[in-house]
Amino acid sequence: MSRAVVVVVVGIVVVSAVQNGQFGAALVLGAGMLWWARRARRAVTGHTHVGPVSLSARHEAGHMAAARYVGGEVSSARLYRDGSGLVQARVPDNPRAVVTFLLAGAAAAGTDRGAEFDQAAIQEVLDRVPAAERGRVLRKARADTDRIVSAGAEEIARNAALLQERGRF
């Protein structure tokens, strides 16, 4: 069942509870719905095929920093000897958060070379956004990404070093 359907059904139940004077039930249901809606997460993967391992490490560390910035969680990060890498995370299920996560890899690495997977995923997300909103979502995600890379430079460098050393996070 989609999240929208659940929200509509619970909303109807809350209204019904209020109309019947069951304010406590309405409050509990409404609060539960808000909590559930805010906790909704989307599984995303940032991936790169870049030559130098150090560049891939920064790329993947950028995804890691972005996941935390948007309120998500990193479930795993891998860096392979061939220079490819992968970060799996759960981020809030909204286009801006997902696009921010996907943009942050290339921004942290300082190049979009090897970020074709991320770019294709960004396009997929934007294709599901109403046309009138796409530019705004992309602008805000780019601004978020710039903040992540500048404010999180130390975290990105530290995580990149750990990825190079261990191969995973």
Structural domain boundaries in the chain: 3-39, 41-166
Taking the C-alpha atoms of residue 119 and residue 146, their distance in angstroms, rounded to an integer, is 17
Tokens at residue 92, please? Answer: 């809030």
Taking the C-alpha atoms of residue 127 and residue 152, their distance in angstroms, rounded to an integer, is 29
Each residue's pLDDT, cut to its tens digit, for the chain (169 residues) gives 445 555 555 556 555 655 677 666 555 655 565 555 555 567 777 666 656 888 899 999 999 999 999 999 999 999 888 888 899 999 999 999 999 999 999 999 999 888 888 999 999 999 999 999 999 999 999 999 999 999 999 999 999 999 999 988 7
Residue 127's SS3 state is: helix
